[in-house]
């Protein structure tokens, strides 16, 4: 434990030192520099690497609203401004938790990948070596994808070679010169890393570690965001061929996080959790659940005739689950089948999921051969099933790219704030301290 503390301290020192500061740092002789498989595994186990995704993915979307008095009293200016999509979102602040958090994951992954290059892969350590390398590739790709959803435009095949993506550090060196590649390069890197990871990871699912079905599930998620529905469906199918466990709400009231494909949580820095009285669920979303839909009372708690709050569904200390699970993969595959016109197969997936969400004696399956109608149903059920999973923001961006025209609005104390389709505020600005240090181009706001 003492050595692990020194190891983490050494790594954190490198992560959080600026370029100028890092040049002056001389590691103490008793610091442990990561060099063994045990060291690398411990780095990947560290909670900031594997467990969290940023609250900004929920805070900017439209599934819930904040209590007006609570919003006016908020002390965190970045969080307050993010909620209303303020043009000057940072104000006097120069940093962003989401940016720092995800790039620290990238740094940890790079530290592992760099270290493995210096460690011989042998017949004796090959399985473990490959698993650790696969996990590092997975964590890095996942972090880059999260950053791309926030700090880059939605992937658009027609403009990806000119749209700016996000910087991708390739080594654990804070002095590495950072540039902004294109969105095409950014997503090519994400895909290639996940494909390589999938070839190295173990086949059996484990909620606490990356695996082949988890890599396939994340590939399906990324390809869906990119609008490549053929490949999204292909990888969702691959993931489901290994991991297809669904909770039946007729039998169970809560999902044990140990039953999931891969555990991730929304960052607790902004506490969207439990029966939190400052979050008011969108009334249109609540009204979309049928009376016999068991999710209504499993996912939410009714506070008054008009106000519903989120209820914890995954038993992870009331913090929102944002990881990978089979329900998302069924919905991805159903959407891809629907878009391809394979309505029978799409509805087979959708109805199979909903059998586990409605009272068993009252469930009426969807029936249609109309492609657009089936797709509409799938997208509606996707929103109802995957609420508070950190997915709505990326869904809004990709659906608006495809012409769905979903604008957003807040009403606070009589003041109306809007985020129209096509507005530059759909892309979050890069932290000003990063612009000062690296000189990379800023996102227009």
Backbone angles phi, psi at 355, to 5 degrees: -60, -25
Residue 276 banded pLDDT, cuts 50, 70, 90: low
Higher pLDDT, 34 or 161: 161
Question: 309 pLDDT exceeds 60?
Answer: yes
Given a cut of 50, is residue 27 above it in pLDDT?
Answer: no
Q: Count of alpha carbons within 13 Å of 295, Cβ hemisphere only? A: 21
- What is the 8-class DSSP label of residue 52? E
**142-156, 166-180, 265-279, 406-420: lowest mean pLDDT where?**
265-279
Average pLDDT over residues 99-117: 94
pLDDT at 21 over 60: no
Rounded Cα distance, 97 and 80, in Å: 14
What average pLDDT does range 215-243 have in this prediction? 99
DSSP 217-274: HHHHHHHHHHT-HHHHHHHHHHHHTT------TTT-SSB-GGGSSB--EE-TTS--BT
Across the range 185-198, mean pLDDT stands at 99
Of the pLDDT bands very low, low, confident and very high (cuts 50, 70, 90), residue 237 is: very high
Across the range 225-231, mean pLDDT stands at 99
Q: Dihedral of CA 217/218/219/221: which sign?
A: positive
CA gap 224, 236 in Å, rounded: 10
Residue 247: helix, strand or coil by DSSP? coil
- d(C-alpha 353, C-alpha 336), whole Å: 15
Average pLDDT over residues 239-252: 94
Going by C-alpha positions, the residue among 294, 254, 290 that lies closest to residue 274 is 254
Predicted confidence (pLDDT) at residue 333 exceeds the cutoff of 70: yes
Q: How far is CA 443 from the centre of its chain?
A: 21
Kind of pairing between the strands at 52-53 and 265-266: parallel
Q: For 179-188, 228-237, 268-277, 294-303, which range has the lowest pLDDT when averaged over its residues? A: 268-277
215 close to 138: Cβ distance less than 8 angstroms: yes
pLDDT given for residue 318 in this prediction: 58
Cα separation of 258 and 248, whole Å?
A: 16
Q: Which of 2-6, 53-57, 222-226, 371-375 has the lowest mean pLDDT?
A: 2-6
Between 263 and 191, the more confident residue is 191
For residue 4, pLDDT beyond 60:
no
Residue 16 is predicted with a pLDDT of 44
* Residue 29 confidence (pLDDT) above 80: no
Using only C-alpha atoms, the chain has a radius of gyration, in whole angstroms, of 22
Residue 28: its pLDDT value, please? 43
Instruction: Give CA–CA dist 312/63, Å, rounded.
Output: 15
pLDDT tier at 46, thresholds 50, 70, 90: confident
Q: What is the pTM of this model?
A: 0.92
> Between 230 and 9, whose confidence is greater?
230
Paired tokens of 442: 């800023």
Which carries the bigger pLDDT value, residue 1 or residue 68? 68
Instruction: Parse the chain into domains and list their residue ranges.
Output: 2-251+321-438
Report whether 259 contacts 187 (CB < 8 A). Answer: no
Find the distance separating the first CA and the last CA of the chain, reported in whole Å: 46
Contact (Cβ atoms closer than 8 angstroms) between residue 283 and residue 306: yes
Q: What is the mean pLDDT of residues 213-237?
A: 99
Average pLDDT over residues 183-192: 99
Average confidence (pLDDT) over 219-240: 99
Residue 20 has a pLDDT of 38
Distance CA 64, CA 155 (A): 25
- Look at residue 223 in the predicted model and tell me its pLDDT: 99
Of the pLDDT bands very low, low, confident and very high (cuts 50, 70, 90), residue 256 is confident
For residue range 318-331, list pLDDT tens digits in order. 578 899 999 999 99
Q: What angle do CA 91, 96, 98 make, to 5 degrees?
A: 145
Region for residue 432 given its phi and psi (left: phi exceeds 0; alpha: psi -120 to 50; beta: otherwise): alpha
CATH of domain 2-251+321-438: 1.25.40.390
Partners of 419 in the β-ladder = 408
Mean of all residue pLDDT scores within the chain? 88
Alpha carbon separation from 422 to 156, 417, 427 (Å, rounded): 13, 15, 10
Q: What is the DSSP string of 159-204?
A: TTTTSB------SS-TTSPP---BHHHHHHHHHHHHHHHHHHS-SS
**Residue 14: how many CB atoms within 10 A of its CB?**
18
When pLDDT is averaged across residues 245-266 and rounded to a whole number, the result is 86
Cβ-count burial of 301 within 10 angstroms (0-12 exposed, 13-18 middle, 19+ buried)? middle
């Amino acid at each position: 434990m003492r050595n692990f503390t020194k190891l983490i301290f050494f790594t954190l020192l490198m992560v959080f030192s600026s370029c100028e500061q890092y040049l002056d740092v001389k590691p103490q002789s008793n610091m442990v520099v990561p060099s063994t498989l045990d060291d690398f595994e411990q780095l990947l186990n560290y909670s900031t690497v594997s467990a969290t995704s940023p609250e900004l993915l929920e805070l900017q979307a439209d599934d819930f609203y904040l209590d007006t008095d609570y919003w006016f009293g908020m002390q965190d200016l970045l969080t307050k401004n993010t909620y209303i999509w303020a043009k000057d979102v940072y104000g006097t602040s120069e940093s962003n938790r989401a940016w720092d958090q995800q790039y620290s994951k990238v740094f940890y992954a790079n530290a592992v990948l760099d270290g493995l290059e210096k460690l011989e892969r042998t017949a004796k350590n090959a399985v473990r070596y490959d698993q650790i390398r696969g996990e590092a590739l997975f964590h890095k790709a996942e972090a880059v994808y999260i950053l791309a959803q926030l700090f880059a435009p939605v992937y658009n095949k027609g403009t990806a070679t000119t749209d700016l993506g996000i910087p991708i550090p390739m080594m654990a060196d804070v002095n590495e010169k950072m540039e902004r590649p294109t969105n095409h390069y950014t997503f090519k890197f994400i895909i290639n890393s996940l494909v390589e990871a999938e070839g190295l990871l173990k086949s059996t699912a484990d909620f606490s570690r990356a695996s082949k079905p988890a890599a396939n599930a994340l590939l399906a998620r990324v390809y869906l965001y990119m609008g490549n529905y053929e490949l999204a469906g292909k990888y969702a199918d691959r993931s489901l061929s290994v991991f297809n466990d669904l909770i039946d709400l007729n039998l169970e009231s809560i999902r044990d996080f140990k039953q999931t494909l891969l555990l991730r949580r929304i960052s607790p820095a902004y506490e969207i959790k439990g029966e939190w009285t400052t979050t008011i669920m969108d009334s249109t979303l609540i009204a979309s659940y049928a009376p016999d839909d068991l999710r209504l009372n499993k996912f939410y708690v009714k506070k008054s005739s008009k106000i519903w709050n989120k209820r914890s569904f995954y038993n992870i200390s009331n913090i929102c689950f944002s990881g990978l699970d089979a329900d998302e993969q069924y919905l991805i595959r159903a959407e891809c089948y629907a878009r391809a016109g394979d309505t029978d197969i799409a509805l087979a997936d959708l109805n199979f999921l909903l059998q586990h969400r409605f009272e068993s004696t009252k469930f009426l399956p969807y029936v249609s051969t109309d492609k657009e109608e089936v797709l509409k149903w799938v997208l509606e059920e996707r929103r109802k099933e995957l609420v508070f999973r950190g997915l709505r923001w990326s869904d809004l961006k990709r659906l608006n790219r495809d012409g769905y025209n979903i604008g957003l609005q807040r009403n606070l104390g009589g003041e109306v704030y809007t985020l129209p389709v096509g507005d530059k505020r759909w892309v979050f600005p890069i932290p000003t301290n990063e612009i000062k240090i690296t000189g990379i181009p800023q996102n227009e706001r």
